[in-house]
Amino acid sequence: MKIICIGRNYAKHIEELSNERPLNPVVFLKPDSAILQKNNPFFIPTFSQDVHHEVEVLIKINKVGKHIATKFAHKYYDEIGLGIDFTARDIQQQCKEKGLPWEKSKAFDGSAVVGQFYPKTSFDIDNLSFQLLKNNEIVQDGNTNAMLWKIDELISYVSQYFTLKKGDIIFTGTPAGVGKISTDDILIGMIKDFKAFEIKVK
């Protein structure tokens, strides 16, 4: 399986990091070793002094697809979930300044939290609220209605470049409110009224 991530898919998040609004979705990958094993804490890596949380709606692909038309994209997933794209912001900034790839800052071990998945029929996919709480305080409060590219559009776009396979996961981008995590933080992800994950930071 592979983890496909979308960057800069919420306008307010683009603004908070002073990034340029892209003409097309920004796509990058994480290896399967990036998945934080269930019930494990997240250990802040020694190479970064500024790891940020980025909560994101996740899509799990249910069958093989290539060059998928947007109007058929809904047939390629049955489940939706929530996760975190942990980002070593200081390392990412160094890479961006040198025009280098971001992988060191985005794809390190444990950098992908994959929470509980739920049937997509439980939600209005294009108007889905989700939150990240840090120590019981809401720090990110998003809704898929603010996506620059909707879920079906993302599936179609990504499938032009990568064959999608059963079990692949798409991280669909983060809303505004990203911020630094610290030792002993408790991170809880809520998708509508469902608790998708709870992570302790060490």
Domains of the chain, residue spans: 3-200
> Which alpha helices (DSSP H) does 150-201 contain, by range?
151-159
Is residue 89 within 8 Å of 115, Cβ to Cβ? no
Q: What is the pLDDT of residue 20?
A: 80
Q: Retrieve residue 189's tokens.
A: 């992800």
Q: What is the pLDDT of residue 6?
A: 97
DSSP β-ladder status, 77-85 and 51-53: unpaired
Look at residue 188 and tell me whether its pLDDT is greater than 90: yes
Q: What average pLDDT does this structure show over 131-159?
A: 97
Q: Identify the band that residue 168 occupies on the pLDDT scale cut at 50, 70 and 90.
A: very high
Query: Which residue in 131, 122, 39, 140 sits closest to 80, CA to CA?
Result: 122
Q: What average pLDDT does this structure show over 162-191?
A: 97
Q: Identify the band that residue 19 occupies on the pLDDT scale cut at 50, 70 and 90.
A: confident
Look at residue 18 and tell me whether its pLDDT is greater than 80: no
Q: What average pLDDT does this structure show over 143-170?
A: 97
Q: What is the pLDDT of residue 35?
A: 98
> Which alpha helices (DSSP H) does 21-126 contain, by range?
89-97, 103-106
Locus of tokens 């971001």: 102
Q: What is the pLDDT of residue 77?
A: 98
Q: What is the pLDDT of residue 33?
A: 97
Q: What is the pLDDT of residue 12?
A: 82
Q: What is the pLDDT of residue 63?
A: 97
Q: Identify the band that residue 15 occupies on the pLDDT scale cut at 50, 70 and 90.
A: confident
Q: What is the pLDDT of residue 69?
A: 98
Q: How far apart are CA 32 and CA 112, in angstroms?
A: 9
Q: What is the pLDDT of residue 16?
A: 76
- Percent of the chain at pLDDT > 90 equals 90
Query: Which residue in 189, 169, 192, 190 sits closest to 77, CA to CA?
Result: 169
3-200 CATH pick, 2.60.120.310, 2.30.40.10, 3.40.50.300, 3.90.850.10: 3.90.850.10
Give 58-112 pLDDT, tens digit per residue. Answer: 999 999 999 999 999 999 999 999 999 999 999 999 998 999 998 999 999 999 9
